[in-house]
Amino acid sequence: MLIKDLQKLGLSEKEAKVYLAALELAEESVQNIAAKAGVNRPTAYVVLEKLIKFGLVSTRGDGKKTLFSASDPRELKHIIEKTEKDLQEQKETLKQTMDQLEAIHNAHSTKPVVRYFEGVDGLEAMDRFGQDDTRKTDKFYSLSAIDLVEKFYPGRRKTGIQERVKSNIKTQTIYTAEKEFTASQNKLNLREGIMVQRVKYPLNGTIKIIPNWGIKLYYFDEIKPYGVIIESSHIAENMIQLFKLAWIGAQQEKKK
């Protein structure tokens, strides 16, 4: 149990075993520490050198022998402090280099990137994919088989709405459903929607259009659902124009 706990603090399994052995033996030679830890002598030497650098082990000469002893366990907190410092430095480095990395990425942005996902886990991964970029917009467009989403994946839809509303992103959608949303529901969920009849328009998936980013296409199959992401601002813009035509048609259909 202690070995696992020490690993959670940042030590490797061998480092944890050697440190714990040194702690239990108080002050000993590398041979005895290695035997106690269950590692060979050369490995124990290498690990002890690392633990010395961590400040977790100290040495003392005793004639021809070198004796090793574990430091106060409270020194372990310095490992966490170092990890936190390293993590902060990594964040700063990423922040400083992000503009350059995005410039390299955007140099090829005119070419669409297509990604395929499969299964329920795959659809959930689709939901998460590109979230930082897709949240930069203030509105989504979609054609959605909401009745199928509610039937097969009710939890996913509720979570998606909550995250979108939290980010203050509106949605304009043409959908099939068991029952039409009320005006108060639409207002609460930042949604402008038109319901169409499944009998006339049997949608089996969802097309989600994200301006300046791309589209996400979900196909809801009870046995093996799948989806495709196309990252392309140009395709997204054309799909928005097609959606607007479909919206006009849905409005006319609703008046009949």
Cα 25 to the center of its chain, rounded Å: 44
Q: Is 83 inside any structural domain? A: no
The band of 108, judged by pLDDT with boundaries at 50, 70 and 90, is low
For residue 105, the model assigns a pLDDT of 66
The CATH number of the domain holding residue 159 is 3.30.870.10
- Residues forming beta bridges with residue 207, ordered by sequence position: 143, 217
* Residue bearing tokens 């002598």: 41
Same domain, 63 and 143: no
The band of 244, judged by pLDDT with boundaries at 50, 70 and 90, is very high
Higher-confidence residue of 168 and 77: namely: 168
In this predicted structure, the answer to whether residue 154 has a pLDDT above a threshold of 80 is: no
For residue 241, the model assigns a pLDDT of 96
For residue 120, the model assigns a pLDDT of 84
Residue 42 and residue 24: Cα distance in Å, rounded? Answer: 20
Q: Return the percentage of the chain with pLDDT > 90, whole number.
A: 42
In this predicted structure, the answer to whether residue 163 has a pLDDT above a threshold of 90 is: no
Q: For 45-70, how does the pLDDT look when each residue is reduced to its tens digit (9 = 90+)?
A: 999 998 888 888 988 887 778 899 88
Give all strands of the β-sheet with 214-219 in edge-to-edge order. 113-118, 226-231, 214-219, 205-210, 139-145, 170-176, 191-195
For residue 161, the model assigns a pLDDT of 86
- Number of domains present in the structure of the chain: 2
* Residue bearing tokens 């088989």: 145
- Residues forming beta bridges with residue 66, ordered by sequence position: 61
Q: Is 4 exposed, middle or buried (0-12, 13-18, 19+ CB in 10 A)?
A: exposed
For residue 61, the model assigns a pLDDT of 81
The CATH number of the domain holding residue 47 is 1.10.10.10
For residue 155, the model assigns a pLDDT of 75
Same domain, 229 and 159: yes
pTM confidence score: 0.58
Host domain of residue 44: 2-71
For residue 190, the model assigns a pLDDT of 93
Higher-confidence residue of 211 and 120: namely: 211
The band of 107, judged by pLDDT with boundaries at 50, 70 and 90, is low
Same domain, 125 and 228: yes
For residue 73, the model assigns a pLDDT of 86
Strands 139-145 and 205-210: antiparallel
Domain termination site, one of 47, 71, 95: 71
- Residues forming beta bridges with residue 215, ordered by sequence position: 209, 230
* Mean pLDDT lowest among 20-24, 109-113, 241-245, 248-252: 109-113
